[in-house]
Amino acid sequence: MDRLAKRGGKVLLVGVGHIANTTIHVGEEYAGVPKAPWAIGLPIVKVLMPDGSTTTCQLDTSSSCSAAFGPVEYKLRQNKLIQDLRLGPAALQLMRGADVIDCVHEMVKDKPDILLCTNPECKPCTGARQNIHRGIS
């Protein structure tokens, strides 16, 4: 997603809100939102590269669960970075991936826990919040 955004790729949300906008996690990475430790080993997957070769990558965890991603839409709309469209009954939101990443980076810089949910059972958000308060990045 990061590579697509860097090449001008866009995000299209079809009938869903920003809790389904995975590009926000890329912005969290750039902002350095600390991750909670993962209880079990993360899987390794093979990735097909554009030149036809394959490489292996270990999957990563996210800093948050996405339940609190709503404020990203507000910030993007405030900056007029979302184009609203319709496809039949579905509401569409179209935006540049780079704008999403930049917006998230800016938001998290100002308030590091803004995109973390408050559910005490949510391990990623609770762990990230604890790490923020401890000064761990």
Among 41-45, 86-90, 110-114, the least confident range: 41-45
Average pLDDT, the chain: 90
pLDDT digits 0-9 by tens, 50-98: 999 999 987 777 788 899 999 999 999 999 999 999 999 999 999 999 9
Report, in angstroms and rounded to the nearest whole number, the Rg of the chain calculated over CA atoms. 16
CA nearest 42: which of 24, 30, 56?
56
Nearest to 127 by CA among 74, 64, 76, 84: 64
